[in-house]
Structure 1
């Protein structure tokens, strides 16, 4: 069993997420490998990480280790937001506000995501 497997055996979401980050950047003695990064984010989600949901959405948005898939991106960002990760809704707000990353501009959807974002963290909306 390699050291990565030993770390994953603890089923710690933060450890799996950090390994995903290391694979994404080619850091901590690991070679850059987007597919392994995606796999680590999926493990982190399985272990309970909410932030890893957002990072997995980024993989689908940029096509890193997976094919680009805008419907998957939207679904994952929404899931992150529903679970309390404000950046999920904030990113969707921006995407719809400006019509970016393959999402058509839709000011009403942008307002809805802003409302949801503000429900999670009212301080950022003052």
Structure 2
């Protein structure tokens, strides 16, 4: 037993240990970052910056980037850039996206498109969702046209990475692409990515995705036609789905409508939300 432990300790002595970086705030909507701010103060963060705490460097960088009236901070791009650079050197991958943005816009530093490319790629490769989504958009030709050449295969690659990590907008973009935008139409893939977009972990357009998903079910695009699911998702879309709900209700039995209503209520209860707009019931 001693010999085994001794061998293991000797093995560790001769194996170099590399620092493992991290993504502090994977949520691309910014909600998790805002929640972190609510639990701290400017004084506390500034003290942590002095101590070299990477998360504090990044968070104060974000404050200086846009300013914060409540904290009495005016925008200061040079301070923001310095803090982001420190955080990046401390292996905070979130900072790579911020640095790429500053190099692209020339905020606190000279514009440098090569560094824009470098930072957004490195942060994306290390799991920062917003960089992955940006790369998907860039290779699709929607953003950073002066930095990246259009390449639909690379766009799909990066959108898939972001979508698998929970990004709603990336999943929605994949649904559009497989709908025939840049690649041959693949209705099954378009439906699957739209379904993923509707249930994605990170995003603020869930009810918009519900509306589109309802259309897939109503028309049987990439899936079997399912009026119960169509009615449910039109209902969960709120007022935007009223017309669609009325339309599919004309083809449904009362039992089907009741089932759609049951599933919708169950979803609302599980997700602690209430959707207005009412439900259509067939007249007897």
TM range (shorter): 0.7 to 0.9
Aligned to 2:157: 115
1:81 paired with 2:124, answer yes
Q: Quick check: 2:57–2:83 contact (8 Å CA) kept in 1?
A: yes
* CA-CA distance at 1:100 after TM superposition: 3.7
Counterpart-to-counterpart distance in 2, 1:85 and 1:61: 18
Deviation at residue 105 of structure 1 after TM alignment: 4.4
SS at match of 2:87: helix
| Correspondent of 2:147 among 82, 97, 103 | 103
Deviation (angstroms), 1:7: 2.6
Unaligned runs of 5+ in 1: none
Q: Cα 1:6–1:89, aligned 2, differ >3 Å: closer, same or farther?
A: same
Corresponding residue SS for 2:56: helix
User: Computing the radius of gyration over CA atoms, which structure comes out larger, 1 or 2?
Assistant: 2
Q: Which of 43, 53, 57 is equivalent to 2:86?
A: 43
Distance 1:115 1:104, change over 3 A: closer
How big is the shift at 1:75?
A: 0.7
* 1:1-126 correspondence to structure 2 within 5 Å: 6-27=47-68, 28-98=71-141, 100-101=143-144, 102-103=146-147, 105-106=149-150, 108=151, 110-119=152-161, 121-122=163-164, 124=167, 125=171, 126=193
Higher helix share: 1
Change (3 A) 1:21 1:67: same
Query: 1:59 offset after TM fit, Å?
Result: 0.5
Equivalent residue pairs, number: 122
